[in-house]
Amino acid sequence: MLRKLFFASAFAVLAAATPLPAQFIVPAGKLPLPRAFHGAVTLGDYTYVFGGSAAVDKVEQVPNSVMKAKIDAAGNIGAWEFTRSLPQPRYYISNATLVLSDVVYIVGGSDGANGASQDTVLWTRPGESGHLEPWRTSSSFGSRLNNTTAVSTPGYIHIVGGYSSTGTMAEASVSSAVISGRILPDGSISEWIKGPPLPRPIWYHHAQVSQGRVYAWGGLTNTDYTKPEPSSSVFSAPILASGLIGTWATEKVTLPKPFYAGCSSVAGPYLMTFSASYGRTELSNDVWWTYVTREGIQPWQRQPTQIPMNIYHAIAPDYRRGAIYVSGGRTTRNSPKLGDILAFRLTDGARQSAVETWTSERAAHSTAIASVTTGGNYSYQAAAAAPTGALPGFLSVDLARAAYAQNPAKPLVLYFNVEGAKPCADQRALLADPAARSILDKGSFAWVNALEHPQLNQQLGVYRVPTWIFYDRNGEVKTRVPGVMSVAEIESTVTALSQ
């Protein structure tokens, strides 16, 4: 059964098309105040644009205003209106604005006035009619950064690399630091933790999460942005059982052409960069993409497009409606700001082709697993109790992770399922056997309803159910099994990890 596939699958069947067919790029609206250097997200039925720069009465300004608009069922963006402003201007935040659950986070950025970087995170959530609640400010994460990237893993947001400046290039530096903030159920950040650093300092780069790993690619390695030195390197690190990020490695598959700037997105196993820059004067509207497998990333591919935003734009993925909204920016570094909003969408024909490609690649599992919707507008959800339908002995994700942290000798096991799916019903029947009860004492087992945790599915690479994920004593994924497991297979896997 195939209920939904990511729209990004279109790239798999259109790799040879040049340029990207026009029907995949459609007008979706206009900003009332053209912007650049801003951030954007889609949350529920609304899309938002934050900060950046704008020309007000032909005078360049760095406003702290925030705009919102409702998205209709067809994916069109309605009238814009202002909502609660940021407590201070934020600039260069396109790849550092993200949504977790129903909370919007804006990480670092520049104040715009003199280029000084920020060292806090602003966060809020929408209330009635999509209007934002009062903004809150985190404690300092220890480094002033703009042009950084922010990603999420279960229970954490992570700041990866970036550019630090007090306003002059002579005092600027490039960061290799990875700083993790632990998220509490109310959305606040309780503490900052420094993790393993990147193999090299980078900024104006990209980072996303797929298949249980964090990927970072491209970016600049030098502080002098007038003489950019872009990187072709791709780094990755595992998501540990704790939700923190492990040690980084340099991927063998590199970018065929070094690039920086632009905006990045993820959809299922696809990593994407929109409008990469190759040099100070070599801008583009190219889309670069790769497909992530459990064995690693596939060769990067470039898809030319006809979008006008070559630089300083922002993107807001909307996985519910199968679109990525691209807003604002400029065609050149000094051209007027744009108010266009475009959407990348799948046509029915291309969606069908993507479905056929997807199913043929996974024919071996076609009778054993069912597809689930991943991505979504909601993230890892904190829960004190196991979800409805969980069999005795299974814990919630939170409680299982806590039990594992206390006793790593009992492996952490995450079981993803969807109530009503035939293969999950088959797996449930096996687990309900009294012989399976004793196995649950040998590990910390979590029962995960995949429909309640769509962003967790994205983070850990769960695209179909049932899926089993087993962690070793070091907190890394040791075994991943898509499909129904016998009681004997579960027992042997857990026993091996306990030794």
DSSP 8-state secondary structure symbol assigned to residue 226: T
**Residue partners of 499: CB distance under 8 A and separation at least 6:** none
E strand or H helix at 350: helix 348-361
Amino acid sitting at position 348: D
Strand partners, 288: 273, 302
Confidence at residue 59, expressed as pLDDT on a 0 to 100 scale:
61
Q: Do the domain assignments include residue 193?
A: yes
pTM of the predicted model over 0.75? yes
Confidence at residue 167, expressed as pLDDT on a 0 to 100 scale:
62
Query: Within this chain, do residues 274 and 376 fall inside the same structural domain, yes or no?
Result: no
Query: Quick one: tokens of 38?
Result: 């801003």
For every one of its 499 residues, what pLDDT tens digit does the chain have, with 9 covering 90 and above?
Answer: 222 333 333 333 333 333 333 446 788 889 988 999 999 999 888 999 999 988 765 666 777 899 999 998 878 899 999 999 999 989 999 999 998 878 999 999 988 756 788 999 999 999 888 999 999 999 999 999 999 999 998 889 999 999 988 766 667 899 999 999 999 878 899 999 999 999 999 999 999 998 899 999 999 999 988 899 999 999 999 999 999 999 999 999 999 999 999 999 987 788 999 999 999 999 999 999 898 887 789 999 998 888 899 999 999 988 767 788 999 999 999 898 999 999 887 544 434 433 343 343 333 333 344 544 433 333 444 455 667 789 999 998 888 988 999 999 999 999 999 888 899 999 999 999 988 888 999 999 999 988 777 778 878 888 788 999 999 988 999 999 989 999 999 999 999 998 7
Query: Which long-range contacts (C-beta less than 8 Å, at least 24 apart) are formed by 68-75?
Result: 68/130, 68/131, 68/132, 69/29, 70/45, 70/46, 70/130, 71/42, 71/45, 71/46, 71/47, 71/318, 71/321, 75/28, 75/318, 75/321, 75/322, 75/323, 75/343, 75/345
Q: What ranges make up the beta strands (E) of 296-423? A: 296-297, 301-303, 314-318, 323-327, 340-345, 370-371, 412-417
Confidence at residue 375, expressed as pLDDT on a 0 to 100 scale:
38
Q: Do the domain assignments include residue 318?
A: yes
Q: Do the domain assignments include residue 361?
A: no
Q: Do the domain assignments include residue 357?
A: no
Q: Do the domain assignments include residue 363?
A: no
3-state class (DSSP) for residue 28: strand
Query: Within this chain, do residues 32 and 163 fall inside the same structural domain, yes or no?
Result: yes
**β-pairing, 103-107 with 97-100?**
antiparallel
Domain end point (choices 321, 350, 379): 350
Q: Do the domain assignments include residue 110?
A: yes
Domain end point (choices 320, 350, 380): 350
Q: What ranges make up the beta strands (E) of 242-339? A: 249-250, 263-267, 270-274, 287-293, 296-297, 301-303, 314-318, 323-327
Confidence at residue 363, expressed as pLDDT on a 0 to 100 scale:
37
Confidence at residue 56, expressed as pLDDT on a 0 to 100 scale:
64
Confidence at residue 60, expressed as pLDDT on a 0 to 100 scale:
64
**Residue partners of 409: CB distance under 8 A and separation at least 6:** 473, 498
DSSP 8-state secondary structure symbol assigned to residue 57: T
Query: Within this chain, do residues 339 and 377 fall inside the same structural domain, yes or no?
Result: no
Cα–Cα distance measured from residue 244 to residue 99, given in angstroms and rounded to the nearest whole number: 18
How many domains does the chain fold into?
Answer: 2
Query: Within this chain, do residues 243 and 145 fall inside the same structural domain, yes or no?
Result: yes
> Greatest CA span in the chain, whole angstroms?
74
Q: Do the domain assignments include residue 118?
A: yes
Query: Within this chain, do residues 454 and 382 fall inside the same structural domain, yes or no?
Result: yes
Query: Within this chain, do residues 233 and 379 fall inside the same structural domain, yes or no?
Result: no
Terminal-to-terminal C-alpha distance of the chain: 38
Query: Quick one: tokens of 57?
Result: 């009465």
By residue range, what is the domain housing residue 74?
7-350
Query: Within this chain, do residues 378 and 343 fall inside the same structural domain, yes or no?
Result: no
E strand or H helix at 496: helix 487-498
Confidence at residue 481, expressed as pLDDT on a 0 to 100 scale:
92
- Peptide bond before 197: cis, by omega within 30 degrees of 0? no
Confidence at residue 182, expressed as pLDDT on a 0 to 100 scale:
93
Looking up residue 101, the CATH number of its domain turns out to be: 2.120.10.80
Query: Within this chain, do residues 310 and 446 fall inside the same structural domain, yes or no?
Result: no
Looking up residue 458, the CATH number of its domain turns out to be: 3.40.30.10
Query: Within this chain, do residues 340 and 382 fall inside the same structural domain, yes or no?
Result: no
Confidence at residue 24, expressed as pLDDT on a 0 to 100 scale:
65
Strand partners, 343: 26, 325
Q: Do the domain assignments include residue 365?
A: no
Whether 329 and 36 have beta carbons less than 8 Å apart is answered as yes
Query: Within this chain, do residues 18 and 160 fall inside the same structural domain, yes or no?
Result: yes
Domain end point (choices 322, 350, 378): 350
Which residue bears the tokens 């300083």?
A: 312
Query: Within this chain, do residues 326 and 385 fall inside the same structural domain, yes or no?
Result: no
Whether 216 and 255 have beta carbons less than 8 Å apart is answered as no
Query: Within this chain, do residues 56 and 115 fall inside the same structural domain, yes or no?
Result: yes
